[in-house]
């Protein structure tokens, strides 16, 4: 069904799991939007911290759905299937919308760019108390810039045409941490995504949510996998084919920084970058190699040790 640009219905999905502390602020940020046609679904993924009681006073304004714990990606996909809007977006339970005209601004962008598949705004990083930590102003992305730069900050506040969402097949439930980023890449492969200027969304930084070593390793693997899958897509622009190794090598190098710097997994990702495209990482690796702790050296993959020695001899 073609989206009527003058009569777009927006569906907002909030997956929540044990976020009683923040969920009410997020709900209010959605209910206070000035856009006239919003369907709001709150999907409780089996919370045990009293989230349901916090949401209860809003039952007449939101569709509250509770189920046993199934994980965020499956919960979001359930919301996608249950909602009825022409345009669909996820607003996380601890990431309130930043402006009351956020959705109106998204709608304006869709009207001005009828061929766009999704829109995304600038966003604000906030702490647990809602204090602003940073202002993230984003560029206009395309699949080419996303792959070449591979430092994609699309996150909170993205809204997607239902038809486009159905075309890409919702979130990949096998991804633990990068499901939303994966959706962004698949949309950009399919067509145009548009940047909405203005700080309209937030991402909350939790003190208790500091990245663990285990999470970092999984993040590194998922980020590199995302790039590899995108490069293998039949939708990849043909002019990028000669640059595949360079792009993937850069992705491996960047993914290393999700792991503990100086740890064995960090250097494993660096080794993959070197094997994939040595020209991209050569200069960086020379500086990096000179800082490798002596205690780490015996535990590095043999191929990495050999290549590091070659680099140091040439430098």
Closest to 233 measured CA to CA, from 114, 147, 137 = 147
The total domain count for the chain is 2
**pLDDT surpasses 80 at 149:** yes
Domain boundary among 175, 209, 243: 209
306 compared with 254, residue with greater pLDDT: 254
Q: Are residues 132 and 52 in the same domain?
A: yes
Q: Are residues 185 and 224 in the same domain?
A: no
Residue 75, in any domain of the structure: yes
Q: Are residues 275 and 175 in the same domain?
A: no
Assign residue 34 the CATH number of its domain.
3.90.550.10
The H-or-E segment that residue 184 falls in is helix 179-190
Q: Are residues 92 and 221 in the same domain?
A: no
The H-or-E segment that residue 26 falls in is helix 23-31
Q: Which domain holds residue 90?
A: 10-209
CB burial readout 204-215, b (16+ within 10 A) else e: beeeeeeeeeee
Average pLDDT over the chain reads 89
**pLDDT surpasses 50 at 272:** yes
Domain boundary among 171, 190, 209: 209
Q: What local confidence, expressed as pLDDT, does residue 306 receive?
A: 73
**pLDDT surpasses 80 at 302:** no
Q: What local confidence, expressed as pLDDT, does residue 2 receive?
A: 42
Q: What local confidence, expressed as pLDDT, does residue 214 receive?
A: 72
Place of tokens 């009681």: 53
306 compared with 71, residue with greater pLDDT: 71
Q: What local confidence, expressed as pLDDT, does residue 284 receive?
A: 60
Q: Are residues 156 and 48 in the same domain?
A: yes
Residue 269, in any domain of the structure: yes
Q: What local confidence, expressed as pLDDT, does residue 150 receive?
A: 80
Q: Are residues 177 and 51 in the same domain?
A: yes
Residue 3, in any domain of the structure: no
Residue 182, in any domain of the structure: yes
How many CB atoms sit inside 10 A of residue 121's CB? 28
Write the CA distances from 21 to 2, 50, 166, integer angstroms: 39, 9, 33
Q: Are residues 138 and 189 in the same domain?
A: yes
Least confident span in 6-15, 228-237, 290-299 = 290-299
Domain boundary among 209, 229, 259: 209
Q: Are residues 194 and 242 in the same domain?
A: no
Residue 4, in any domain of the structure: no
**To the nearest whole percent, how much of the chain has pLDDT over 90?**
68
Q: What local confidence, expressed as pLDDT, does residue 1 receive?
A: 33
How many CB atoms sit inside 10 A of residue 203's CB? 19
Residues forming beta bridges with residue 43, ordered by sequence position: 15, 65
Residue 45, in any domain of the structure: yes
Q: Are residues 203 and 100 in the same domain?
A: yes
Q: Are residues 175 and 31 in the same domain?
A: yes
Mean pLDDT, residues 87-96 taken together:
97
Q: Are residues 126 and 187 in the same domain?
A: yes
Q: Are residues 164 and 36 in the same domain?
A: yes
């Amino acid at each position: 069904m073609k989206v009527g640009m003058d009569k777009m219905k927006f569906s907002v999905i909030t997956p929540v799991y044990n976020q009683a502390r923040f969920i009410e602020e997020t709900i209010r940020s959605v209910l206070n939007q000035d856009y006239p046609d919003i369907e709001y679904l709150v999907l409780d993924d089996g919370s045990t911290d009293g989230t349901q009681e916090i949401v209860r006073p809003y039952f007449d304004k939101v569709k509250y759905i509770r189920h046993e714990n199934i994980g965020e990606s499956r919960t979001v996909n359930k919301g996608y299937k249950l909602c009825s809007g022409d345009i669909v977006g996820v607003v996380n339970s601890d990431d309130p919308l930043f402006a009351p005209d956020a959705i109106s601004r998204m709608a304006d962008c869709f009207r001005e760019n009828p061929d766009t598949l999704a829109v995304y705004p600038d966003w604000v990083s906030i702490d647990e108390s809602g204090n602003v930590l940073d202002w993230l102003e984003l560029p206009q992305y395309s699949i080419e810039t996303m792959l070449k730069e591979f430092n994609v900050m699309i996150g909170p506040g993205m809204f997607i045409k239902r038809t486009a969402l159905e075309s890409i097949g919702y979130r990949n439930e096998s991804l633990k941490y990068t499901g939303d980023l994966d959706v962004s890449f698949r949309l950009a492969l399919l067509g145009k995504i548009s940047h909405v200027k203005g700080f309209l969304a937030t991402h909350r930084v939790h003190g208790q949510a500091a990245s663990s070593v285990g999470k970092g390793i999984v993040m590194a693997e998922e980020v590199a996998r995302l790039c590899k899958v995108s490069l293998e897509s039949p939708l990849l622009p043909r002019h990028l084919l000669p640059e595949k190794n360079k792009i993937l090598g850069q992705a491996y190098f960047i993914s290393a920084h999700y792991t503990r710097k100086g740890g064995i997994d960090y250097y494993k990702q660096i080794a993959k970058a070197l094997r994939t495209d040595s020209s991209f990482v050569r200069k960086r690796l020379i500086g990096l190699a000179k800082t490798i702790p002596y205690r780490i050296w015996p535990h590095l993959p043999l191929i990495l040790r050999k290549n590091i020695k070659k680099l140091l001899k040439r430098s």
